[in-house]
Amino acid sequence: MDGLLLSGVLGLAGLVLWRLRVRDELPGTPPDRDGRGLIGLFVLGFLILRFSTQAFLSNTGVPHLEDLTVVQTVSALSAGNAVTALALLLLVRRHPSGRGALGMTAQAQGSPWLAGLCAYLLAIPVIALLTQVNFALAPLYLGEAAEQELVQGLLRAFIEEGARSSATAWIAMGIVIPFAEELLFRGALYGGLRYRLGPWRAAFFSGLIFAVIHLDPAHILPLTGLGILLAWIYERTGSLAAPALVHILNNLVTLAVQSTLSPEDLT
């Protein structure tokens, strides 16, 4: 309950800051973007991500993937995401709008960094509430034992293998992966869906796809909510900088909280 109260206070602070410093700097009509061909770019980027990550995982020299440490796994994931981000930035140069199609040009209105910080504060109570609801519902579709094993198994590996003291793990999960995911899911996927479906339906479906592709059924609701919020802040600012900042802050704070846990906390 204390955690939910704190998240509510932070969300209120974000709302006040948004109304005082951000809202009036944003245009009444969000900037338009040319979304032609971005769905195909997303599909190609996703395939590059899958195959490059698999290649890096195979290159670790560990015969069985389940024997990989957390640091080895996130290093391979980070390398795959970095390759994907570079490929997307190179491929989008053929688009009529260039990198602007992925929100990588100065189309932003106001300060995307301040907007991103406010959006992160606004997201905290929403994600916290969705997480509580998800944990209440997860045993119904996963089974209680499976849900506990899925969540605690990942946390236990992160804590016991020393990943929380690894700079590689922090850089990979806190910076490289969220930036690449923003290019792929907000820049390409949301941008392409928006062109065909409009902003609200595009935000919902891109958020849902974002959650499903993470293959983390124990967190399906908060991941979907986060994906929708990231699409909304991208829509409002016209710059990928704002959702990228929200995503990076979310991952870094999550890692920081997990780093305070001990194995006894999971029993």
Q: From the CB of residue 267, how many other CB atoms can be counted at a distance below 10 Å? A: 7
Low-confidence ranges of the chain (pLDDT < 50): 145-151
Length of the chain: 267
Residue with tokens 């969705």: 130
In the chain, domain spans:
2-25+37-266
Give the pLDDT confidence score for residue 101 in this predicted structure. Answer: 84
Q: What pLDDT is stored for residue 65 in this prediction? A: 61
Q: What is the pLDDT of residue 150?
A: 46
| pLDDT for res 2 | 66
How high is the pLDDT of residue 147?
45
Query: What's the confidence (pLDDT) of residue 6?
Result: 80
pLDDT score at 158: 63
Please give the pLDDT value at position 12.
86
State the CB neighbour count (10 A cutoff) for residue 75. 21
Determine the pLDDT at residue 48.
Answer: 95
Q: How far apart are CA 53 and CA 55, in angstroms?
A: 5
